[in-house]
Amino acid sequence: MKFQLETNRLKLRPFEKKDTVHIFELDSNPEVHKYLGNNPITTYKQAEDIIEFFEKQYNENGIGRLAAFEKESGDFIGWSGLKFNKGIEEELNGFTNFIDIGYRLLPKFWGKGYATESAITCLKFGFKQMKYDIIYGAAETDNIGSNKILQKIGLKYVNDFKFEGNNAKWYELKKTDYGC
Domain boundaries, the chain: 5-177
For residue range 117-127, what is the model confidence (pLDDT) as tens digits?
999 999 999 99
Query: Of all helices (H) and strands (E), which one includes residue 171?
Result: strand 166-174
Q: What pLDDT score does 2 carry? A: 65
Give bridge partners of residue 14 from the DSSP assignment: 66
pLDDT over threshold 70, residue 84: yes
Q: Which residue(s) pair with 59 in the sheet?
A: none
CATH of range 5-177; options 3.40.50.150, 1.10.10.10, 1.10.760.10, 3.40.630.30: 3.40.630.30
Q: In this structure, are residues 127 and 82 in contact, taking their beta carbons and an 8 Å threshold?
A: no
pLDDT at 128 over 80: yes
CA distance 108 to 127: 30
On the question of pLDDT at 101 being above 90, the answer is yes
Q: Residue 180's pLDDT is what?
A: 61
Q: How confident is the model at residue 147 (pLDDT cuts 50, 70, 90)?
A: very high
- Residue 37: its pLDDT value, please? 80
For the segment 57-72, the average pLDDT, to the nearest whole number, is: 96
Mean pLDDT value of segment 160-164: 92
Euclidean distance between CA atoms 142 and 153, whole angstroms: 19
Q: Is the backbone of residue 60 left (phi > 0), alpha (psi -120 to 50) or beta?
A: alpha
